[in-house]
Structure formats: structure tokens, C-alpha cells
Amino acid sequence: MEEQNRISFHDQISSNKLKSFFLIIVVLLVLLILGFVIGQLMGPDYFTIIMIFSIVISIFYIWIGYYFSDKMALASVNAKPADEREYRNFHNIVEGLCLASGMPKPRLYVMNDNNINAFATGRDPKHAVICVTTGALEKLNKQELEGVLGHELSHIANFDIRFMTLTAVLVGMIAIVSQIFLRSLWFKGDNDNDNKGKAIFMLVGIILAILAPIVVQLVQLAISRKREYAADASSVKFIRSPTGLINALKKIKSEHLPPDKKINKAVAPLFISDPFKKNLDNLLSTHPPLEKRIEILERM
């Protein structure tokens, strides 16, 4: 069992860096294709302007997403910096885990939510953030909180945070552009003589605008589910015991509080547990079932 759960951090880091690069390229291409289609529909007088505008906006947004994705994720849940005096236990646990693992201490944040949850974000271990809910700080004992924070530090150590946060931010851009394109069709004039060519580009644009957000959501789900198992196993390596994380997941499973409506669905895959309580074993779940995660941890 120990051999089956063995994780190569170097392989994970290399894989996540490579996937992050390809993710940026794919999102850039999708945005440029949408810009091209919109340019064709608007006519030759506007095509060059729209393409230049699309390129500049796409590159600028990807740059913003890469360097400021952590701030965007924190702002989306209205998280506040964790004051060292008020949240001394939170800081002490993270400092101890970072010393033991040789990692730099991430910035710590707290979000106001009675549910037990936490997430990590950022572009690399030197620019990482861990955010926990007030519910986690109030309901988990030191050992359980240590297990949860070890899980989040695992995401940081193997660069999951870069790939997962970039996914959340960049796919949001695709959804926004798709909606803008679909809504712009209502205001489009029909003064061009080449109606057949326009109809083809319009059809391609509509199909792309509808399918892109759906495909992107499926990619998000696939990314999140697999990484939760790996981070659970890595947390056990950090803590040297699965007990704390097991008990924390059991407490999460037993909660029956309504989900926090303020959380943006785009950042749901970042959390240790699905904040919308849809933790079921199906293709549309952002997380693997808690029962399966607990079962695997209990065999470690």
C-alpha cells in the first residue's frame, strides 16, 4: 500500500508547470479564435481593429491571471489577512509545518464562512496563500487543523496552486467573452452582401461560444478530483499521521449547513471540499467523494 501511494514531487511539479504553460496557450488560442470570428462578422472595416484588440486584451488578461490570480481568488471570497495575534494557532501550525518541510511560509487569510473549508492559491511556493474559513478555525482541533493545512501545503509544494488557480481565472475569461459574443449578436447589423459567409462564421462563433465554457468546466473538474487524492497522501507525509485529516474530513462530511452563496463557482475546485456540497461520485463533481478519501487515508 505504501508503494502504491508513493508520490514523486519532482514529476508532479514538472507536469504541473508544463500543463500550466499549455493551458495558457490553449486559452489564448480560444480567445483569439473568438476575436477572429467576431472580426469576420463585423466586416473588413473592423477586422484588423478587433484582432489587435483581441490580442492585446488576451495577453494582458493572461498576464494579470498569472501574477494576480491569488488576489483575484481571495477577493472573490472576500478573504481578509489573518492577524497574527487573533489567529496565533493558525500561524503557529503553518510555521511548524513549513519548518519541517523546508518550505517558505505562505501568506495566511481567513474568510467568513461557518462551513469547514480551506484552499491554497498563488503562482509558486514563494508567492503562495492559504485561506481557511472561520468555521474551520472554530470547529477543528489542533490535530485536525494541522491535517487540513498539511493538505493545502501539499498543493503548494507540487505547484498544484499555479495550475488550479490559473484554470479558475482563465476559464472565467472564456466564459465572459463567450457571453459577450452571444449577446453582441442581438445588436449586429445585417448590411453585408456576403450573407452566406457571415452565416458560416456566425454559426461557428455560436457553437464555440456555447461549447467553450462547458469544455472548460469539465477540464476544471478533472483537474481538481485527481489532485485531491494526491494532496491527501502528501499531507500524511508532512504530518506523519493520517488521523488529523481523517477526523477533519469526517467533520466536513457530517456538516449540514447550507453552502455559502458568496463563493464563485469558478474557484470551487481550489477548496479542500466542494463548498456547494455536491460531493458526489459523478463526472460533474469538483471533488472525489469524502467517503473514498477517508477510506484511503484509513488504510495508510
DSSP for 240-252 reads S-SHHHHHHHHHH
Q: Which of 131, 136, 154, 141 is nearest to 229 (CA)?
A: 154
Task: Return mean pLDDT, the chain.
Answer: 76
- On whether the CB atoms of residues 183 and 206 are closer than 8 A, the answer is no
Please determine, for residue 160, whether its predicted confidence score (pLDDT) is greater than 50: yes
Query: Quick one: average pLDDT of 69-86?
Result: 89
Q: Using CB atoms within 10 A of its CB, is residue 121 exposed (0-12), middle (13-18) or buried (19+)?
A: buried
Q: Where are the domains of the chain?
A: 9-298
Query: Over the stretch 168-200, which tens digit does the pLDDT of each residue have?
Result: 666 666 666 666 666 666 655 554 445 655 566
pTM of the predicted protein model: 0.72
Question: Which of the two residues, 32 and 76, has the higher pLDDT score?
Answer: 76
Query: Over the stretch 209-255, which tens digit does the pLDDT of each residue have?
Result: 677 667 666 666 666 667 788 788 888 888 888 899 999 999 998 88
What are the CB-based long-range contacts (under 8 Å, 24+) for 53-57?
57/31
Q: Which of 1, 3, 299, 294 is nearest to 151 (CA)?
A: 294
CB atoms within 10 A of CB 251: 17
Query: Over the stretch 98-152, which tens digit does the pLDDT of each residue have?
Result: 998 889 999 999 999 999 999 998 888 888 999 999 999 999 999 999 999 999 9
Query: Quick one: average pLDDT of 269-286?
Result: 71
The H or E element spanning position 184 is helix 160-184
Q: Which of 52, 31, 30, 50 is nearest to 40 (CA)?
A: 50
Q: What is the pLDDT at residue 85?
A: 92
Please determine, for residue 7, whether its predicted confidence score (pLDDT) is greater than 50: no
Report CA 221 to chain centroid distance, whole Å: 10
* 3-class state of residue 108 by DSSP: strand
With the C-alpha atoms ordered 239, 114, 163, 1, is the resulting torsion angle positive or negative? positive
- Which amino acids are annotated catalytic? 152
Question: Which of the two residues, 267 and 45, has the higher pLDDT score?
Answer: 267
Q: Using CB atoms within 10 A of its CB, is residue 237 exposed (0-12), middle (13-18) or buried (19+)?
A: middle
